[in-house]
Amino acid sequence: MKQTIGLDFGTSNTVAVSAQGVGATAPISFVDGNDSFTSLPTVLSFLDRGPAKALNAEVGPWAIRQFLESFGDVRFIQSLKTFAASRVFKGTGVFGVRFEFEDLMATFLQRAFERAGAAFDPAATRLVVGRPVEFAGHNPDEDLAMERYRKAFQKVGFEDILFVMEPVGAAFSYAQSLEQDTTILVADLGGGTTDYSIMRFETEAGHLKATPLGRGGVGIAGDTFDYRIIDNVVLPKLGKGTAYQSMGKILEIPPNLFSNFARWHMLSIFKTSDDFKEMKKLLRYCMEPEKIELFIDLVEEDQGYPLYKSVSETKALLSSADEAELTFAPLGSDFRATVKRADFDGWIAPDLKKMDLALDVTLEKAGLSEADIDRVFMTGGTSFVPAVRRQFAERFGQERISGGNELTSVANGLALIGARTDAADWALAA
């Protein structure tokens, strides 16, 4: 039987699982020194090795290390998935070499499989790929995103490619433990998107059957929550809310000049933008120039990922504590900020409302109410946020909420689907 791999290409992390026959799977692991892990950070770096030398591409922790420790020029690319559906993103130059989106994605995948030591023939492998219900970004073009996905996988050498909605993969993984017919709402809460899928699972003559009832989603998830911390805690230290003098008037520095810094994956674009040039021009007129100078330094020194990492760690601590300390050395060795969970919950409240409204639409399209849902399966890293879990518990009741394998459930379900004889039907149903 053809080898099958389920791939969850995420905004923040990527997971791959190999099917071991029908009904059994094994995660593809990565080894870095003494560390072994199955969730690979979706980051890509290129090291400039000079004229006529091949670009040294790295992924995951190796890319992060290359970025932080290299003495040469390094191009660091993050949150690649965010650009998949964007017509504005038409590719980028990397040390004189032109990369389209599909080139970047293919490079990431090829190097990821190499780092995993995965010995397989892509042409003889079925690849089942998860896709979000709603792609992230402004005015996302779904057709463009899928075209780019297909080209990327084909560049790696895959020919047998199936696309299944990410929450459908998670639902199928969870359904393996069901003992009776069940209507499931899957909430896949990742880094870039929140995806919903409602499915009815039934067993007929020992055969698991699924009927899709509805799906929906919104481009709001963990990265948006990180933004709220940066916007409220970090950006005031970098000049947001301060003023400049112009023609005898005191004016606030336009807030939009700071927005890209809060969105860490946009920094590489922002550094060459007109907005950044405008910020530099304003410097001489600023009332608190030291803050703006620090802002400019952080952008020019590509501090987006370290900032994201610090903020993300703080957010994770708030999942189990009432407050957490945010430190970020580039802001100064004495920079310390206490982030309270109560404040964080208030900052993300509008985002939670939008996530809830997207769920309203999903249920309405399916012609269902909360009472029709037997189980709610929450997956993805953002499902650990207490305010998120509380919102679902208040709506459906804690007794109906399930979780587990939050980071691997999607890829696991995709691999299980791919090993079935009716795998194509699941892709079509998605």
pLDDT digits (tens, 9 = 90+) for 175-227: 887 888 999 999 999 888 899 999 998 887 777 788 889 989 998 999 899 99
Q: What are 21-49's pLDDT values in tens digits?
A: 777 899 999 988 888 999 999 999 998 86
Q: Residue 226 falls within a domain, yes or no?
A: no
Structural domain span for residue 311:
240-345
* DSSP state for residue 29 in the 8-state scheme: P
Q: Residue 157 falls within a domain, yes or no?
A: no
pTM, rounded to two decimals: 0.81
- Residue 1 — very low, low, confident or very high, per pLDDT cuts 50/70/90? low
Task: Tell me the sheet residues that pair with 37.
Answer: 30
pLDDT at 97 over 90: no
Residues 6+ apart with CB under 8 A from 47: 55, 56, 58, 66, 70, 72, 73, 74
DSSP per-residue codes, 196-208: EEEEEEEEETTEE
Q: Residue 245 falls within a domain, yes or no?
A: yes
Mutual angle of helices 222-229 and 341-366, in 10-degree steps: 150
Q: Residue 336 falls within a domain, yes or no?
A: yes
Lowest mean pLDDT among 109-113, 253-257, 409-413: 253-257
Q: Residue 141 falls within a domain, yes or no?
A: no
Q: What is the mean pLDDT of residues 368-397?
A: 94
Q: Of residues 53 and 60, which shows the higher confidence score?
A: 60
- For 157, phi then psi, to 5°, come to 120, 0
- Residue 138 — very low, low, confident or very high, per pLDDT cuts 50/70/90? confident
Closest to 226 in 3D by CA, of 263, 268, 280: 263
Q: Residue 260 falls within a domain, yes or no?
A: yes
Q: Residue 203 falls within a domain, yes or no?
A: no
The whole-number pLDDT of residue 356 equals 97
Q: What is the mean pLDDT of residues 235-244?
A: 91
Q: What is the mean pLDDT of residues 335-345?
A: 94
The whole-number pLDDT of residue 422 equals 84
The whole-number pLDDT of residue 48 equals 80
Mean of per-residue pLDDT scores for the chain: 88
The whole-number pLDDT of residue 44 equals 92
pLDDT at 380 over 50: yes
The whole-number pLDDT of residue 52 equals 53
What tokens were used for 400?
A: 């109906």
Q: State the total domains in the chain.
A: 1
Q: What are 244-300's pLDDT values in tens digits?
A: 998 889 989 988 888 777 666 666 667 777 888 888 888 889 999 999 998 888 888
Q: What is the mean pLDDT of residues 332-344?
A: 89
Q: Residue 219 falls within a domain, yes or no?
A: no
The whole-number pLDDT of residue 430 equals 47
The whole-number pLDDT of residue 66 equals 87
Instruction: Confirm if 218 and 350 have CB atoms less than 8 A apart.
Output: no
